[in-house]
Structure 1
Amino acid sequence: MPSATLEVIDKGSASPAHPAPLLFVHGAWHAAWCWDEHFLDFFAGQGYRALAPSLRGHGASPATKPLRALSIADYVDDVAQVAASLPTPPVVIGHSMGGFVVQKFLESRDIPAAVLMASAPPRGYLGSGMRWLRRHPWHFMKLSASGRSLAYVSTPELARERFFSPHTPEALVASCAARLQEESARSGVDGLLALPRPRRVRAPLLVLGAGHDGAVTAAEVRATAKAYGTEPEFFSDLGHNMMLEPGWQSVAERIHTWLGTRGL
């Protein structure tokens, strides 16, 4: 079983058709709950074992140092800890910052496959930071000075701008905004400096993007796919939080189909 030091939501069981567990890694300001809304039950129902940890300092997972000091390497260690607790190497699915963490995890681990959903690109967070600076210069200056960013993503208006499409129901946006939590300032710096090294990655990757993504551009999704020798696939009607948006099932079904073609 996964270590008790991390919150891990664990559903379903491996089956002969789907022997590899699926390990879902959340992005910044989120926790395991974002996968538990739809994806874990969907994949458990398809015959997979599906797990979602909350990275340390997120959800109900404790941290041994202040949140602001947590690094991408700490988050990679969390993924490795849960993966090592499983009977077979998992397929790892990462969203947003979680996709960045997954890319770092893959540099030194052999796993059957991985999926990147609206992932931060291998070239890091610089593009995202510059867009934030241009869009909300006062927010960017305050968060840069304080190391605290939650206030600038957690209103319904700001959450919609970054995480959701224009047509997402207001109640869903407000519910998500209320569950967001502070993110590590150190992890943001690592997103500029501790960049992934795609040439070290051997696992096959599925790279997915969203048409109404307020955090990751289509050009960044294409650059990510190119770095890993594959072609990106886009869901034109969805926002950044592809696992929560109405239409999430089309994303889940595409992942399920892709895994099936690989015997997973």
Structure 2
Amino acid sequence: MTESRQPVVFVHGLFLHATSWTPWVELFAEAGYAPTAPGWPNEPATVAEAREAPELVANTTIEDATDHFRKVIDSLDAPPVIIGHSFGGLITEKLLGEGYGAAGVAIDPAQIKGVLPLPLAQLRSGLPALGNPANLHRSVALTAKEFRFGFGNALPEAESDELFGKWSVPSPARPIFQAAAANFVLHSEAKVDTANSARGPLLLISGAEDHTAPAVVTRSTLRQYRDSTAVTQLREFEGRGHSLTIDHGWREVADAVLSWLKDQGL
């Protein structure tokens, strides 16, 4: 009988399409896992289609997306490893805290409720959405310049522009508003059960030069887990920005995740 492969679910964040995980999916498949990278609710199948119909994802909330991935996980034969980037990292933390998944990896995760630091770079990276209150129920697309500040600031401009052209799509602005207001909302959808000691192991990853999810924010996120005895670790990559899952150095990050999963027996 063929031994079943460990499922892996990749969860992308805002302003990137699900297909941006393709190199990771291929690498994890080669490493013996059973990976999948579903899009967010109502996300079109291709970058081109997503750009043509931004209204399809407008007004999607953190809870809408989280529930979508709950259903994906429930359809699998075994608890998966959940790997998320940016708001996908926040969703990964929420799911793991709820007992979903065998383990979680949150890469440059969006700010969860309870995290207080708000660096100026992070505030500026959120302005394309937060700068207009009417964006709350809309989808928003970044310009190449905005993408460079929020994602590609640690890259040569030519590479940042190439990644923008290849992967960037309009995304719902509402999760950004929800995360920004999380500490002022009693039942915020950005809240994570960080005290759960029965959950699977969690690896937080940050890029030291990240503007969108600055390293100080990820270190503060780690401190939110101080009441849990479950494995919670942090790995910081020097000289890397928010693009670390899609730029020329993605393989270094992916290999680090594979190594960590091996250490966890997964």
TM-score, structure 2 as length reference = 0.79
Note the C-alpha offset of 1:93.
0.6
- For residues 33 and 130 of structure 2, the distance between their equivalents in structure 1, rounded to whole angstroms, comes to 44
Q: What letter is aligned with 2:104?
A: A
- For residues 125 and 60 of structure 2, the distance between their equivalents in structure 1, rounded to whole angstroms, comes to 27
- 1:158 matched to 2:146? The reply is yes
Q: What letter is aligned with 1:181?
A: V
- For residues 23 and 209 of structure 1, the distance between their equivalents in structure 2, rounded to whole angstroms, comes to 19
Distance 1:200 1:41, change over 3 A: same
Give the 3-state SS of the residue equivalent to 2:169 in structure 1. Answer: coil
Give the 3-state SS of the residue equivalent to 1:23 in structure 2. Answer: strand
Distance 1:135 1:163, change over 3 A: closer
Counterpart of 2:209? 212
Aligned residues: 243
Q: What letter is aligned with 1:199?
A: A
Q: What letter is aligned with 2:28?
A: F
Worse-superposed segment, 175-184 or 127-136: 127-136
Note the C-alpha offset of 1:125.
8.6
Task: Describe how 1:167-182 pairs up with structure 2 within 5 A.
Answer: 167-168=155-156, 170=158, 172-178=159-165, 179-182=167-170
C-alpha offsets along residues 41-75 of structure 1, whole Å, 9 cap, x if unaligned? 11111111111011113242999x96332211110
- For residues 129 and 97 of structure 1, the distance between their equivalents in structure 2, rounded to whole angstroms, comes to 17
- For residues 123 and 153 of structure 2, the distance between their equivalents in structure 1, rounded to whole angstroms, comes to 21
Q: What letter is aligned with 1:143?
A: N
Identity %: 28
Task: Describe how 1:124-163 pairs up with structure 2 within 5 A.
Answer: 131=121, 133=123, 139=128, 142-147=131-136, 148=138, 150-151=140-141, 153-155=142-144, 157-163=145-151
Worse-superposed segment, 42-51 or 122-131: 122-131
Note the C-alpha offset of 1:161.
1.1
Instruction: Return 5+ residue gaps in structure 1 as ranges.
Output: 1-14
Counterpart of 2:192? 196
Counterpart of 1:92? 82
C-alpha offsets along residues 154-177 of structure 1, whole Å, 9 cap, x if unaligned? 32x22111112433461x422332
C-alpha offsets along residues 16-50 of structure 1, whole Å, 9 cap, x if unaligned? 5x8321110000122211111x2111111111111
Contact 1:128–1:216, Cα closer than 8 Å, also in 2: no
Counterpart of 1:11? none
Contact 1:92–1:115, Cα closer than 8 Å, also in 2: yes
Note the C-alpha offset of 1:107.
2.9
Note the C-alpha offset of 1:133.
4.9
- 1:77 matched to 2:74? The reply is no
Distance 1:54 1:124, change over 3 A: farther
- Structure 1 residue corresponding to 2:251, chosen from 239, 246, 249: 249
- For residues 134 and 164 of structure 2, the distance between their equivalents in structure 1, rounded to whole angstroms, comes to 23
Distance 1:135 1:46, change over 3 A: closer
Instruction: Return 5+ residue gaps in structure 2 as ranges.
Output: 183-187, 227-231
- For residues 200 and 126 of structure 2, the distance between their equivalents in structure 1, rounded to whole angstroms, comes to 38
Counterpart of 1:109? 99
Q: What letter is aligned with 1:109?
A: G
Q: What letter is aligned with 1:87?
A: D
- 1:26 matched to 2:16? The reply is no
Contact 1:22–1:92, Cα closer than 8 Å, also in 2: yes
